A and B are shown apart, each in its own frame.
Chain A
Amino acid sequence: MALSSLTVHEALDLLRRKEISPKEIVEALVKRIQEIDGAVHGYLSFDPERALKDAEHADVSLPLGGIPIAIKDVVSVQGHPCGCASKILQGYIAPFDATVIKKLRAAGAIPFGRTNMDEFAMGSSTENSAFGPSRNPWDADRTPGGSSGGSAAVVAADEALAALGSDTGGSIRQPAALCGCVGVKPTYGRVSRYGLVAFASSLDQIGPLTKNVRDAALIMNVISGADPCDSTTLDEPVPDYTADLDKGVKNLTLGLPKEYFIKGLDPQVEEAVRAAVAWYEKLGAKIVDISLPHTEYALSTYYIIAPAEASANLARFDGVRYGFRADGITGLSDHYGKTREEGFGQEVKRRIILGTYALSSGYYDAFYLRAQKVRTLIRRDFDDAFATVDAILCPTSPTPAFKLGERTGDPLQMYLADIFTLAANMAGICGISIPCGFAEVDGKKLPVGLQILGKALNEATMFRVANAYEQSTDWHRAKPLFGAESERLKGEK
């Protein structure tokens, strides 16, 4: 078996027994990337020399000692590009480490490569990347999801052992579901956002994408915790998230929200999720029907709050202190107008316009304030539900991976890809997507994700529920036949 197909915990075992070295893992990944990333396009850049150097000094006795981790192009790693897949940050080199990167380094991990994404994390397919989309390793004609689509694709295609992504409305969980890997959105405030280029500050969280639940728990052990550089982080103890993994689901109550099994849900996705629910019942969990009555308002709430916050956050891209500046400028207003016209892509402009409108004089109360109030109603739905259930089960995405180009002309259709993941960001709770089967479309097997939502700060129970299913099923071990896919693409060229 190639070292690139190892999981994090398998690699840690082998490293600690001195059967392999961190350098060999990095070399195996470099080889794999050179072989197939031309077709996947999961990475925007990677620096093998620096990774090999880090590997030489890695202390394998540390919690993630010697483990290379791919980083979404929105998290700052000192000395590496951090371009958010945008032209406006082309050539930008991060002058400092994000807090999560400091923590990963302190735990012995090796930040490795920059993964592709929708520009500024705005999108659900990576098609908004200024550098071209990534492809789904299960079917190269389809999207890996987004916005952390590069991170999901490289984990699924064994071009990384694990990756970091960011999740504002589903940007970790949705691509994890579409690529057949595990993706975690932590509780808001659980993981520091310092060094994450801000999209929507009241929603953004950094989290791991991995090949299994245990690996995600191991990474969460390292990146969680309060940070003086991010005042929204919670000063709460970080438990060992691996401690309860094997406790099973006997005596746990799991809720099934009726609002998540609606028209528009793909029948094959519904079938796979319902089968997973039945499996949980076999494993000893009590399944109860619940209602989250304000679910239908989540999408509208999101598309006020996220663009509004984005329009304020992206005001910093002014072509003065960093990034791109347009040529042939005639004056100050021309400087801003042209730089931002040429530097930002379509979707980013669209959202800045929408957000500026929602915050503009006379509209703030009608849009942003109202949306923040509806957010309270959504949060209360979850409070009520978690009074009686330990976790909630639902689909991660209403459909399996869609075709590249299928939804780019219709923003609202694209936004619907996140309909089941948005509410967790609104409520600030934690969520995970794990593989729970396949849909068969046009003769291709496409992964389906099961979403498990947990109470705020109760990642431990969320991981326990996820692990009980994963360890009694085989879905997470299935691998895409990307060798064949990449050969086919070469043939087409």
Chain B
Amino acid sequence: MSATKFDVRYIAELARIKLEPAEIATFESQLGHVLEHVEKLNQLDVSEVEPTAHSFPIYNIFREDQIRPSLEREAALANAPRQAQGLFIVTKVVE
């Protein structure tokens, strides 16, 4: 948990965001400060502590598997940047 290993260029690639070199430098310094602050968490011994994701212990919410109406195809496609013949047009994946 150290800020020194923080490689913005590599992380941006994982997140699929292109960044300008200037932006990379800014983020490196700004997020470096945030990570320094976050190192505070290492002061605590949490070895015997369970993690919290919900303040109430609710597990396994089941419902009947029933067919219900969903979005019409037209409505689902209406916001697409490109679509044709009832399909999303995507960027070519296979060369």
Contacts and interface: CB of A to CB of B under 8 A. Distances in A.
B81 A374 contact: no
B86 interface: no
Contact of B54 (A232, A294, A323, A429): A232
Interface stretch (A38-46, A298-306, A439-447): A298-306
B85 interface: no
Interface stretch (A126-134, A246-254, A362-370): A362-370
A333 B41 contact: no
B46 A377 contact: yes
B25 interface: no
Interface string A310-354: 010001001111111100010111111110110010100110111
Contacts of A375: 51-52
A329 B91 contact: yes
Interface residues of A, number: 74
Interface residues on B, range: 35 or more
B64 to A, nearest CB: 10
Interface string A353-394: 110110010010011011111111101000000000000000
A390 B69 CA distance: 45
B16 A367 contact: no
Given A228-B63, A304-B38, A354 B31 contact: yes
Contact of B17 (A95, A324, A337, A363): A337
B30 A301 contact: no
A304 B51 contact: no
B90 A320 contact: yes
Interface string B47-59: 0011111111010
A373 B51 contact: yes
Interface string A207-245: 000000000000000000000100110100000000000
A239 to B, nearest CB: 17
B71 to A, nearest CB: 6
Interface in A429-476: 429, 456
Nearest to B90: A320
Interface in B12-45: 12, 14-19, 23, 27, 30-31, 33-35, 37-42, 44
B93 to A, nearest CB: 5
Nearest to A379: B52
Contacts of B37: 299-300, 303, 412
11 contacts: A189-B54, A315-B16, A322-B81, A329-B91, A350-B31, A354-B35, A356-B15, A363-B1, A369-B51, A373-B50, A374-B46
Given A188-B55, A344-B17, A373-B52, 14 more contacts: A228-B63, A300-B41, A322-B79, A323-B81, A329-B91, A353-B11, A357-B11, A357-B31, A370-B41, A376-B46, A376-B51, A410-B30, A428-B52, A456-B55
Q: Across chains A and B, which 3 residue pairs bring their CB atoms closest together, nearest first?
A: A428-B55, A372-B51, A322-B79
